Structure 1
Amino acid sequence: MRRRDVIALLGGLAGWTLPASGQQPAVPVIGYLGPESPGRYASRLHAFREGLAETGYAEGRNVAIEFRWAEGRYDQLPRLAADLVNRQVAVIVAPGGAEIVLAARSATTTIPIVFELGGDPIALGVVGSLARPEGNLTGVSSLSVGVTPKRLEFMHELLPSAGAFAVAVNPTSPTAKSQVRDLQRAATSLGVELHALHASTEQEFEALFTAVPRLRAGGLVFTSDPYFAYRSQQLAALAARHAVPAITQSRDFPNAGGLMSYGGDFEQSHRHTGIYAGRILKGERPSGLPVQLVTKVELFINLKAADSLGLTVPPSLISIADVVIE
């Protein structure tokens, strides 16, 4: 080979980019749209990572997760969802309620979205069919919203002589009106009066509890809403301070000292979101993954709280409780 041919060959090779020694291929990135803060979401994140592991993915090993936290400011969700879209993540996980999935859906029609919520995704317009969701969305739905009237029934069973109950409602929730409507039907059937109390910020929480005795209500029933669920410790402390019998959707409430909770098993629903995210990373399409329904509903009763309120929980309730805290 002539010298000028060798120089030409080396010049051509100089334009090539050779992989660095030991360089690994890029791992897929999951975008996680969180409505709260990591601390409030710790148990749910653990369940999500368990589901992801069932499909063979572990954060830091073969998948990365980009978190965007709204810190309870739900008006920030659309901006955070758009940020994940601009990041060009492989899939967006939108857990924790209707507000989150609606923000994610508005941000993209192409990136797969795995949602987790407590209401009916068809009624919310998220999917057209549970068995064959079209477009880029699928996910998990629990029964937390649908069983809201059952919370009123449990409170009435505990306090049969009460002629009225107060209901805590977040007016910004997309499911607020339907839940109040269902509660009103249940109240009519039970022959009790309902007083709807609105709260969408932490500053309004105390007024919920101070209103109960003023309204001569037997207790306080919380509608299903993630904003309430993630503030269970604060609500339990207020219930104890004002000596108000209350029931919420989240087991975190009685675990923190509140009286009762009744709602879907959030650990199971969040684990399913991890499984679906992993299956999508492996190449499955959202439209081929039916919306999962978490049918397990949990009743938690805190007998210590009942005793401090001077209440005796009837055996009929204790016998059907999933967990009794003594």
Structure 2
Amino acid sequence: MKKLFNYLLFYCILIPLSLLPLWFLYILSSIIAFLLHYIIKYRLEVVKLNVEKSFPEKSKQEQKLIINKFYKHLADVFLEGFKMLSISRKNVLKRYKCNNPEILETYFKQGQSVLLLSSHYNNWEYMVLSLGMQFPFQGIGVGKRMTNKTFEKLMHKRRTRYGTKVCYNDNVKEVFHENEKTKTPSAYMLLSDQSPNDTYKCYWTTLLNQDTPVIFGGEYFAKKFNYPVFYYKVNKEKRGYYSFDIIPLSLTSQEEGYAEITQKYVSLLEKTIKENPPYWLWSHKRWKHKRPEKIYQDTIKKESN
């Protein structure tokens, strides 16, 4: 019965909703933003605390402005996520463009896979959906599984309909090894700003004035297979339109010292957030973990060799 309900919800409500024109969805978005911020107060205390600790130098009024704009943007991304379910190939490429695709062309011609590190900044659903269309590589998004298996299956089908493949943390190693075996030049996309499950086997650094654990998977795979690594920076041009830049982090991964790639990523992420603070996912409990007394850095080093 639960499975049937999920299918009915998806195909009778969510898909029809996604067929509505974006101008109408943005009217709904403005209403939803008000509800999330002032009525439901969705994770409002988390958002306030995150913004206050990240920007202690800003006045209360400036912090409130960031929070207000964040909820408006969050509602937009929420509705754009619905639109993703049915948006055409032409429309997504119109709304989500790469400013410098030529930077990766040499690697594809050489049959070399690349690793793209991005974040929950601006629109990440269009990012995954369009990955297989933006570049000649096999686009592969790496994510976490949903708790609702039926919805995961339905969303997986929608996200991969334009050529992007999606793998998860429980099978990502197999995907990397299989693509190396078949010599398939791939562009792997990792949203590396997520809070890690294991706070011992991760990299700890400072992000926005706070002690922060960072997922080490990007650097692990980069060094394992000697992939060049790039920062995937998303820019919001105007409502509903985005562009992105591919910025080199390391072209010789195996020559980098411990966590150098990850630290370069964190530094660029912080710079990106500071440029336009409202567009990051402030409702995420990013700083819920405390640094353990002992970090298993030696274990990470050995595993990446």
Same fold (TM over 0.5): no
- Structure with higher RCO (Cα < 8 A, 6+ apart): 2
Q: TM-score, normalised by structure 2?
A: 0.34
Q: TM-score, normalised by structure 1?
A: 0.32
